Structure 1
Amino acid sequence: MDFFTTGRLLKQVNADCQSLLQKIDSRIKGWEGVQLSFAGRVQLIKSVLTSFEVYWAMAFILPKGIVKEMIKHFRTFLWKGTSSSGYPKVAWETVCRPIEEGGLGIKDILAINRALMSKHLWAVIKQDRTSIWVDWIIQVRLRDCSIWTVEENKGAWGWRKMLSLRHPLMSHIHYRVGRGIPFHFGTIRGTRLDLSFPVSLGDLR
């Protein structure tokens, strides 16, 4: 998990992800001599190529450039059966829609990546101290701050990108008094407790 804890540059992350693109390209080239139907190519994308992506998406947020290249590989294989460039017949956003909505049911790479990375963020939110990484984040990255108010422009690139996922989660988070978890009153975005009570946040902890 050093991706979240050290100052690795985006350039290095992109370099590391090149092996992912190479694996996808190599697998597609291995299928080029096989007579595959359109339905067969759809299934291979869903079951084989997407599995490469999921493995990496569980570890860190994929750079936009890498995601763009992955979609390019998937798209050309879907429509042409090769890894060479070509013109898509349908927008990729449409392809990724559920079948009942007129799509092919291929998973959206960005959506999968965000969902899998949100699990790491959720572990921090619920303060899962059984995780060494979560314990380190709480003690070093957060210190006396709330996960909701810690500045997004500080820390390693991976940590900053993960903090950007806080906003979609906010409307789904509900706190219950009495759970025994340390809580920073007034620090949750959207509440006005800090304005309603003439006391410092430190007095409320």
Structure 2
Amino acid sequence: MKSLEKNAIYLGASLFLSKTPSKDFKFLEEKLETKLMGWRSRCLSWAGRSTLITSVAQAIPNYTMSTFNIPAKNCDKIDSLTRIFWWTPKEKEGRFIAWKAWDKLCCPKYEGDLGFKQTKDVNNVLLVKLAWLVAPSRDSLCMDSLRAKYKVKHDWLQKEPQRLLRLLGEL
């Protein structure tokens, strides 16, 4: 029987976390920064930047966010990189004037804002979706292996919230 190395990677994400998870997810920040560096050389309109942010920049970490609880430090850095690109597309870092708070820009479009997403909120939503897929009512080989890995019992939905939150944190 073969065993996996500790630094095994699947679909860009590490399969095993170290004692410092913020270092494990640093690759998401680096991948986003690489994309932004290519976009900085172009003259983009507000609409162009908005489209790139919503369709590419905020989609880069989706797979990893749907399988791991990413530390808030990494999520904040990803949001920071996106925010800097929104307000000063030619600058990599430094000071800038934010004409509107990032929280407001992350409000839905039907409220008149841009509909950007905060990374930690998306991460939490995707983890809850994964937890719902692991629910005992769904039978498949994949779900059976996830239930076995995370020791999910049939009564997991009736557990007290602290246990459920801890279970989501382990996913």
TM-score w.r.t. the length of structure 1 is 0.63
What count of residue pairs does the alignment treat as equivalent?
154
Deviation at 1:91, TM superposition (A): 1.4
Partner SS for 1:19: helix
Larger Rg: 1
2:95 aligned with 1:86: yes
Name structure 1 gaps, 5 residues minimum. 1-5, 164-205
Percent same amino acid among aligned pairs? 23
CA change 1:137–1:150 in 2 (3 A) is farther
1:106 aligns with 2:111: no
Give 3-state SS (helix, strand or coil) of 1:89's partner. Answer: coil
Q: CA deviation at 1:151?
A: 8.4
Partner SS, residue 106 of structure 1: coil
1:116 aligns with 2:129: no
Q: Is the 8 A contact 2:18 2:24 kept in 1?
A: no
CA separation of 1:85/1:127 partners in 2, compared to 1, >3 Å: closer, same or farther?
Answer: farther
**How do 1:6-155 residues align onto structure 2 when only pairs under 5 Å count?**
8-9=17-18, 11=20, 13-81=21-89, 82-87=91-96, 88-135=98-145, 137=147, 141-143=151-153, 146-149=156-159, 152=162
Q: Deviations over 1:105-128 (max 9, x none)?
A: 112322322222112211232442
Contact kept? 1:41, 1:78, Cα under 8 Å? yes
Q: 2: CA distance between counterparts of 1:162 and 1:80?
A: 37
Give the SS at the match of 2:159.
coil
Q: Is the 8 A contact 1:76 1:83 kept in 2?
A: yes
Runs of 4+ off more than 3 Å: 6-10, 131-136, 142-148, 150-154
1:28 counterpart SS class: helix
Q: Distance in 1 between matches of 2:146 and 2:115?
A: 38
TM-score of the two chains, using structure 2 as the length reference: 0.74
Tell me, what secondary structure is at the counterpart of 1:58? helix
* Shift in CA distance, 100/122, structure 1 to aligned 2, threshold 3 Å: same
Q: CA deviation at 1:142?
A: 3.8
The CA RMSD over aligned residues, in Å, is 3.0
In structure 1, distance between residues paired with 2:50 and 2:134: 36
